[in-house]
């Protein structure tokens, strides 16, 4: 499994989602009160991610 979403519970008891690629964490979400909300976040990323624009705020 080279890339996948992972739902986990943080120390505060909130559900979070992280996306891993080759065991490296690429990003993590905010905390959610329910696992269902975390699953909704995954579906939103899958649906809207490919269409997202790239905003470069770097000085270079």
pLDDT of residue 2: 87
Phi, psi angle pair for 55, to nearest 5°: -110, 115
Q: The tokens of 22 are what?
A: 């080759």
pLDDT of residue 58: 94
pTM to 2 decimals? 0.82
3-49, CATH topology level: Double Stranded RNA Binding Domain (3.30.160)
Residue 15 has a CB neighbour count (10 Å cut-off) of 19
> What is the spatial order of strands in the sheet that 3-9 belongs to?
3-9, 15-21, 24-28
Whole-angstrom Cα distance, residue 49 to residue 19? 12
pLDDT of residue 60: 67
Q: Give domain limits for the chain.
A: 3-49
For 1-54, the pLDDT digits (tens) are 689 999 999 999 999 999 999 989 999 999 999 999 999 999 999 999 888 999
């Amino acid at each position: 499994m080279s890339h996948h979403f992972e739902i986990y519970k943080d120390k505060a008891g909130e559900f979070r989602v992280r996306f891993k690629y080759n065991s490296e964490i690429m990003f993590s979400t905010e905390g959610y009160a329910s696992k269902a909300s975390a699953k909704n976040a995954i579906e939103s990323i899958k649906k809207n991610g490919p269409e997202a624009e790239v905003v470069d705020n770097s000085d270079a």
